[in-house]
Structure 1
Amino acid sequence: MGTIRIFRQYVATRFIVLATIEAFIFIFSLYFGLMAGLRVSWLELLDYINLLAPEAIFFATVMLISLSIVGLYQRRLKNGRVEMISRVVLGVGIGTILIHQISYTLPELDMGREAWLSVISIAFIGVLITRLLMFQALSSQALQRRVLVLGSGEKAASLKESASKFANGQFQIVEYVPLVDITKGVGSNLLLATESNLLEIAKRVKADEIVVAVDNKKESFPTNALLRCKLFGIEVNDIVTFYEREAGIIKIDWISPSWFIFADGFQRGKWRKRLKRYSDVVCSAGLLFLFWPIMLLVSFAIYVEDRGKGPLLYKQKRVGENGKIFELLKFRSMKVDAEKNGIPQWAQQNDNRITRVGHVIRRLRFDEFPQIINVFRGEMSFVGPRPERPEFVENLQKTIPYYQERHAVKPGITGWAQVCYPYGATEQDAFEKLQYDLYYVKNNSLFLDFVILLQTAEVVLLRRGSR
């Protein structure tokens, strides 16, 4: 199974198929569950099919969002049966709680505890069976895309090493075809001889796609051979596009300024920007109203621990959109003298500068709440690259190519790098995260923002990445 693009975001076909099947499972489980819970016959239920349609759509929507929150529709989820089952249990559990709360608020959606119990039980069994069958199907090579790699040098070797990390049953590399007799980065046992033309090789290995991973395209590049493969119906992609699609990153080692000029994406529609700003204002105002009791409790806890000797909020200069400097707000989670002599430092694992209250609020992500004020003021958005300190940015721009390009969009509380890459506090981590940030800058859309927010819920729920 391949991928399709929805609002410039690559979505695996298998998840579209899976979500569609599970939507029907949720809808039908509502009807069958009512039959079991209310003890009515199928003929009696037929009279209420149209009447119950809103409840069925409501139930399916809530459950699909709940499964998304626990990461069941993302390619980074490892193909472990135990992990999959545990996430289904957690997702259905979250959905059950949400349905109970919404039904309590909107009594017209409440069908009674016994009826809902039957509905959710049937839905859980249906989803679990579907997931187990899909798990079994994906372990078969029949559903994997067969990829033929053109090249045998550094790029091809990098793809070989990275494939196992992000393939996740999506594709298999069938062979590598060297261009010329150059230094090989791929073992000779994996290489195909090149006596035959490229189209014949692709037919022989039944390739669905050819990935061009050539280190130097100026040497003997087979333009005509690739054209024949393309006209024959075999998809042809360069390795940068392949990484973008399969891993959600832009490989900055292999791009040039001309790539930015001619690549699709990097759109800044006026109406999209306005809509995002309006949604940021409305959501930030609503969240401030919703979370003020928690923010008050956190402020009180910080005040008590330090006996009122330190500030409640930590204000730090960060680099925003187009390089503009602003003050980022956080609840203070470190000691007052955390940075001696004013020298900026990365946060470290088990950092001894963090206070007792700080450990708790960082764990629960409560320290980030004041950034909602930054969003309301327009300095940040809910979704975007995380803003860095000017001192770090100055150094990183000297050592990491295209680092300044991440400032083309407004920074965010959460972002693509935050949900895809673990917490990092080194220059190498900044390099890796930039590849995700550039993906966001290139492909940003409200749809991608929604995907990131759902995955952020998973990060917070499963407590991944905090430090």
Structure 2
Amino acid sequence: MLRRNQRFLTQMYVLTDLAVMLGLFLAAYWIKFQSGLLVSYITVPFKTYLVWSTVYAFAAVLIGFYTSFYAPKRRKKFSRDVLNLLQVQSLSFLLLLSLLFITKDVHISREFLALFFAMNLIGLVVYRFTVKRMLTVLRRRGLNKRYVLILGAGSVGRSFHDQLQLYPDLGYEAYGFLDDFQDEHDSVVQKRYNGRPLAPIVGRLDELETLLRENPTIDEVIIALPLDAHSKYGDLIKTCEKAGVKTLIIPDYFDLLPAKPFFDNFAGVPLINIRDVPLDEMGNRIAKRTFDIAFSLAALIVLSPVMLLIALGIKLTSPGPIMFRQERVGLNRRSFQMLKFRSMRVSTDADASQTWTVENDPRRTRFGTFLRSTSLDELPQFINVLLGEMSVVGPRPERPFFVDQFREEIPRYMVKHHIRPGITGWAQTNGLRGDTSIDERIRHDIFYIENWSFFFDIRIIFKTVLKGLIHKNAY
């Protein structure tokens, strides 16, 4: 039943996409040639435009199948759908331009093509968003449900069930549990979660085949058994596949895995990569490093008058050097000297590297207070970027004393050293600066490391410029 429903939905998506693109073609043609809004001269008949637009629409559908655009989307975020849509439409548009070049059909209006492409992007995004919202409303009302059977009523199975209760918009509902220790788990399963009863234990594991045969409403089976039940996995999966039911496994060590585990292959053996880092790929590293160098050179050139005024202000307001160097821990746990404009009085305190800067810190100069509150003291770090010690965007580096302390106290703290530290980062643009939670900072840093992309960096830079320079915790 699940596969039939999915095939029907896929067919509906394909037909609706074609209809929407045809409607948008007619709208674009009217705006360009008949509305009078744009200057136009019809040198190519309507039939030619219709043929090429049909080619574009069918190309988009074929590319969509090839790129898994029409794969089930119930568990995917809408932002991922938008990204896939942009990829499909861009590839289809490039294919159309290539065919026009090959056939030497040069009289097609370029303005019309640009208008048609833009309207396709906007129209399809709006249409997909509307469909997703409608499905969400229906699922919250109990319609379009999918039922899952959970194998294992222990801590892993109950945890999954609890999480499922928190996302009713996904349209999943637990049919029940199968467990060989029913008496042991029954009392726990009967507890209520947020006012809603937990699904019951409906049988033992050896009743799986009978249950799937007698209950075709079960769409998916979730195996949530402990590690010591590993020997049962093979037979359970065979039973599910025999019944034509999709099977998913929650490993007993799922809390050690990242949000999006990556499966690797080593010597022909599949492996779970605990920490998939996009910047481990050479192409991504080269792209990020090239951007860092170009951006830092441009920033130093453009900001050189500001930096000169800052240097003059430091000299006029307090004795001592203009620059302040401090040891920080960077890529691969290696130390480097991070540069800053000096914002404090020169100190001989040997323990300065082991103390936090606090609000109204008496060590700061008046001009230094201004520099720190506006983050202008960080500008010399573009030199660290050019030297390859830092990146424009990345987790903020910390002093060795605190690294040694946090590595023992904060889980996964050292993961941040898999990539170069940054002048700004995802944590900082979300308000995690100064005296804020280290746990939250690391959570944001790991999210950035696992989800890095060039456009993510651009987003963080824009966010930093727009609202990240002045912050109440920057002292």
TM interval, short-chain normalised = 0.5 to 0.7
Could you tell me which residue of structure 2 aligns to residue 376 of structure 1? 386
Q: Distance in 1 between matches of 2:360 and 2:454?
A: 36
Q: 2:292 maps to what in 1?
A: 284
1:391, distance to aligned residue in structure 2 (A): 1.8
Corresponding residue to 2:272 among 259, 263, 267: 263
**1:456 matches 2:460:** yes
Equivalent of residue 439 in structure 2, options 419, 428, 431:
428
Map of 2:249 onto structure 1: 237
2:397 and 2:421 in contact (8 A); partners too: yes
Alpha-carbon contact 2:328-2:398 (below 8 Å) kept: yes
Cα separation, 1, equivalents of 2:399 and 2:162? 33
SS at 1:191 equivalent = coil
Q: 1:136 and 1:157 mapped to 2: Cα distance?
A: 30
Match of residue 198 from structure 2:
190
The amino acid that maps onto 1:355 is T
Q: TM-score normalised to the size of structure 2? A: 0.55
What amino acid does structure 2 have at the position aligned with 1:139? V
Q: Among 369, 373, 396, which residue is 1:355 paired with?
A: 369
Summarize deviations over 1:16-74 as a string: whole Å, max 9, x none.
99xx99x9799957766534432537774869969x99xx9xxxxxxxxxxxxxxxxx9
Distance of 1:227 and 1:30 partners within structure 2 = 53
Q: How far is the alpha carbon of 1:190 from its aligned partner?
A: 0.9
- 1:132 corresponds to which letter in structure 2? T
Q: 1:236 to 1:128 in 2, by over 3 A?
A: closer
Separation of aligned partners in 1, 2:461 and 2:385: 18
Identity level (%)? 21
- Aligned CA-pair RMSD: 5.7
| Amino acid in the other structure paired with 1:378 | G
Q: 1:172 to 1:297 in 2, by over 3 A?
A: farther
How far residue 155 of structure 1 moved from its aligned partner, in angstroms, is: 3.9
Partner amino acid for 1:238? Answer: I
Identify if the C-alpha distance between structure 1 residues 233 and 225 changes in structure 2 by more than 3 Å, giving closer, same or farther: same
Structure showing greater relative contact order (alpha-carbon pairs closer than 8 Å, 6 or more residues apart): 1
Q: Determine the C-alpha separation between the residues in 2 that align with 1:207 and 1:405.
A: 40
Unaligned residue ranges in structure 1 (runs of 5+):
1-12, 57-73, 78-83, 85-110, 251-260
Alpha-carbon distance, 1:234 to partner: 1.0
Q: Give me the whole-angstrom Cα distance separating, in 1, the residues matched to 2:431 and 2:189.
A: 28
Alignment-mate amino acid for residue 132 of structure 2:
M
Q: Give 1:283 deviation, angstroms.
A: 1.8
Partner of 1:139: 137
TM-score by length of 1: 0.56
Q: Retained in 2: the 8 A contact 1:147–1:172?
A: yes
The residue identity in structure 1 corresponding to 2:372 is G
In 1, Cα distance between equivalents of 2:163 and 2:466:
25
How far apart are residue 136 of structure 1 and its match?
2.4
| Corresponding position of 1:325 | 335
Whose radius of gyration is greater, 1 or 2? Answer: 2
Instruction: Give the CA deviation at 1:342.
Output: 1.2
Q: Per the alignment, do residues 326 and 220 of structure 1 end up closer, same or farther by CA in structure 2, a change over 3 Å counting?
A: closer
SS in 1 for 2:397: coil
* Shift in Å, 1:325: 0.7
Question: How far apart in 1 are the matches of 2:222 and 2:410?
Answer: 26
What is aligned with 2:174? Answer: 174
Contact 2:326 2:337 in 1 (8 A): yes
2 CA distance for matches of 1:201 and 1:452? Answer: 46
Question: Secondary structure at the residue paired with 2:338?
Answer: strand
Cα deviation 1:347-386 (Å, max 9, x = unaligned): 78xx545834433x44xxx666544433332223456554
CA 1:301–1:228: 2 relative to 1, 3 Å:
farther
- 1:296 paired with 2:307, answer no
Residue 234 to residue 320, structure 1, CA distance change in 2 (3 Å): same
Partner of 1:388, secondary structure, is coil
Which residue is equivalent to 2:93? none
Tell whether the 8 Å contact from 2:220 to 2:245 is kept in structure 1 after alignment. no
Alpha-carbon deviations, 1:411-441, whole Å to 9, x = none? 455667778x76273343356457637x72x
